[in-house]
Amino acid sequence: MLIKMGRKLFYWQICLWQPNRMSAVTIFVLQAESSFSEEEEEKLQIAFSLEKQDLHLVLETISFILEQAVYHNLKPASLQQQLQSIHLDQDKAEAFASAWAAAGQDTIEKFRQRVLTPQKLETIGWQLNLQMAESMQAKLKSPQAVLELGVSNEDSKNLKKVFVEFSHQELFEFYNKLETIQAQLDSLT
């Protein structure tokens, strides 16, 4: 039994809902990364003529159903079947299924890409320079590359920029290491 519905109160509410409103809210929950803001909640309350507590309950339960669908990677048909087997109305189950069919794959992909590490590489920039001289050496003519890596930190909003300089030889060695990593990735598939 995949979906455990312990919320009897929700049952009643969900049964009383119109199917088209449900699908609108379902898609909305799927697309929103974070929960609804205060104003949005108020608008929903008015639109669906629900009390604040009831609205919360409905939203929470829809989120729960969707999270379970993501976790088990359910196909829309299978989701519909499961919902119907816990005695949800046919049309409401259909609303779920169609919303899932529309945005399900993208949602699963988004969850797949989530990383747990606090720092993630976001941007890559680079610059190729030809160094002509420096204070200790005249007449150089050596190419230098500067790689700018933008690393995001979970806590702060800003991107930390890491600047790394490479000579031709150093860059070549770095490239070989990247090739090794790529070979490992290829061996996975």
Partner 1 sequence: MAAVAAGKAAGAAHGHGEGRGGGGGFLGPRVPAEVEAMARGVQEVGHETFRRLLRVTVNALEGKDCKESVKLIAESTSLSEEQLAFLISGMYTLLREALRLPLSTFKQEVFKEDLKELRIPEDFITDFSSIVFGNRRPVSEGTALMQGSRLPNVQDFKWRVDVAISTSSLARALQPSILMLMKLSDGTAHRFEVPVAKFQELRYNVALILKEMNDLEKRSILKIQD
Residues that bind partner 1 (CB under 8 A): 67, 70-73, 108, 111-117, 119-122, 124, 126, 128, 130, 134-139, 141, 143, 145-147, 149, 151, 162-168, 170-172, 174-175, 177-179, 181-182, 184-185, 188
Which residue in 12, 17, 26 sits closest to 48, CA to CA?
A: 17
Tokens found for residue 178: 């990247």
CB of 135 to partner 1, least distance (A): 7
Report how far residue 29's alpha carbon sits from residue 63's, in angstroms, rounded to the nearest whole number: 7
Our CB check for partner 1 shows the closer of 12 and 126 to be 126
CB of 115 to partner 1, least distance (A): 5
Q: What angle do CA 61, 65, 68 make, to 5 degrees?
A: 135
Our CB check for partner 1 shows the closer of 17 and 166 to be 166
Which residue in 48, 102, 58 sits closest to 79, CA to CA?
A: 102
CB of 104 to partner 1, least distance (A): 13
CB count within 10 Å of CB 123 equals: 11
CB of 132 to partner 1, least distance (A): 9
Our CB check for partner 1 shows the closer of 114 and 157 to be 114
Our CB check for partner 1 shows the closer of 103 and 108 to be 108
CB of 63 to partner 1, least distance (A): 12
Our CB check for partner 1 shows the closer of 61 and 107 to be 107
Report how far residue 171's alpha carbon sits from residue 127's, in angstroms, rounded to the nearest whole number: 13
What's the per-residue H, E or C state across 14-44? HHHCCHHHHHHHHHHHHHCCCCCCHHHHHHH
